[in-house]
Structure 1
Amino acid sequence: MLILGVDPGLTRCGVGVIEAGASRRLSFVHVDVIRSKPEQPQDLRLLTIYNGLCAKFDRFIPDVVSIERVFAQENRSTVLGTAQVAGLAMLAAAQRGIPTALHTPSEVKLAITGNGMAPKAQVENMVMRILSLNEPPKPADAADALAQAICHALRPAGAIQGGEREEHLTAAQRQWAVAMQKARRGRGGIKRDM
């Protein structure tokens, strides 16, 4: 199963992709950060993030998208932008018939470290160990996106709605998705990059 994790943010949106194999063996596929320019109007920033998310979804064709569940913070402008980007990730996934899941930062920390209050450095260290990386992905948004994907592989209970979403796809989109999945699996998986 290919899991794409999203750490939503208006300036930096982390995207991490992992593959969950037999016996919950997890392997690294891709990590990146989609950026928008703070000096641009917010609608154009959201468009930049949305287009970047769509490009990642179309490139990797994940089986599920795991998104950080937005929670209230003191800084309302930060939480508003984060919530908007989380909504864009859900929209892009729904348009492609990809199931989504939401996990809180505490759930992610608990799944990865065993401690829901773990510091960021401990989470980054465990992401490196679980995925056999030589160094933590930078910036932190990238590591958080991989952590989100790992959490879903270990604790899939955050799924909004289980099962496939193919009923929302056109016949041509279904055929394309099946062909891309077969091609990817026929090549022995996807090229790993960082």
Structure 2
Amino acid sequence: MASFRVLGIDPGLTRCGVGIVDVTASRAATLVEVTVVRTPSGMALEQRLLLVGDEIERLLDLHRPDAVAIERVFAQHNVRTVMGVAQISGVALHLAAKRGLPVGLHTPSEVKAAITGYGAADKKQVGTMVARVLGLAEVPKPADAADALAIAICHAWRRGAPVAAATGTLTPAQAAWLAAERSAGTSAADRRLTP
């Protein structure tokens, strides 16, 4: 059965989770690779961005995904954290665009709803479900790794949601994801998505 490969990114300047999964039309997901790229806070900003960008680029070239999925953070009290997330997201968007890859941006509540069926799930619940979906003996650690995989799985599953909705075969997780998307006021017109 053909699979769809997604590289998911949980963007962060200190720790950036990157996870690659293969997902079939039946929603079966397989882990390809997961890593967390770390940069020291004392390093110059441009060097930190280069280090994370080089690793994302290496993984894009090695695994040749069909799409890239990035967590969209739209509200955060810590401005420094928001800036780091935005900067890493920009690097990832640039690298995906350079390769002509479609990009999906997903809010944390969309990802949680897709993976757990509950848009307010905690990190432990997300990690547990990621391990279950991928058939892993342990939850990927640190949480940035599990989050990156959750983002990739969410994107692949979301891609199949319109077909499932049209045929009336939504799973509980897909139904929860669509509800979370509607409540967040997002739509396909709001962002570039995989067709």
**1:27 offset after TM fit, Å?**
1.1
1:110 alignment counterpart: 113
Aligned counterparts, 1:2-13, within 5 A? 2-13=5-16
Aligned counterparts, 1:87-166, within 5 A? 87-156=90-159, 160-162=192-194
Aligned residues between the structures: 163
Q: Which AA in structure 2 matches 1:160?
A: R
**Contact 1:5 1:149 survives alignment (8 Å):** yes
Q: Which AA in structure 2 matches 1:33?
A: V
CA distance in 2, matches of 1:162, 1:13: 23
**Contact 2:67 2:194 survives alignment (8 Å):** no
Compute the RMSD of aligned alpha carbons. Answer: 1.3
CA distance in 2, matches of 1:6, 1:14: 6
Aligned counterparts, 1:26-37, within 5 A? 26-37=29-40
Percent identity for Structure 1 against Structure 2: 53
**Contact 1:7 1:148 survives alignment (8 Å):** yes
CA distance in 2, matches of 1:45, 1:66: 21
**Contact 1:70 1:86 survives alignment (8 Å):** no
TM-score normalised over the length of structure 2: 0.80
Q: Identify which range, 19-28 or 86-95, moves more after superposition.
A: 19-28
Q: Identify which range, 152-161 or 105-114, moves more after superposition.
A: 152-161
Q: Identify which range, 56-65 or 154-163, moves more after superposition.
A: 154-163
**Contact 1:64 1:99 survives alignment (8 Å):** yes
Deviations 1:52-74 (A, max 9, x none): 11111111110000000122211
Identify unmatched segments of 5+ residues in structure 1: 164-194
CA distance in 2, matches of 1:161, 1:134: 32
TM-score normalised over the length of structure 1: 0.81
Match of 1:15 among 18, 27, 44: 18
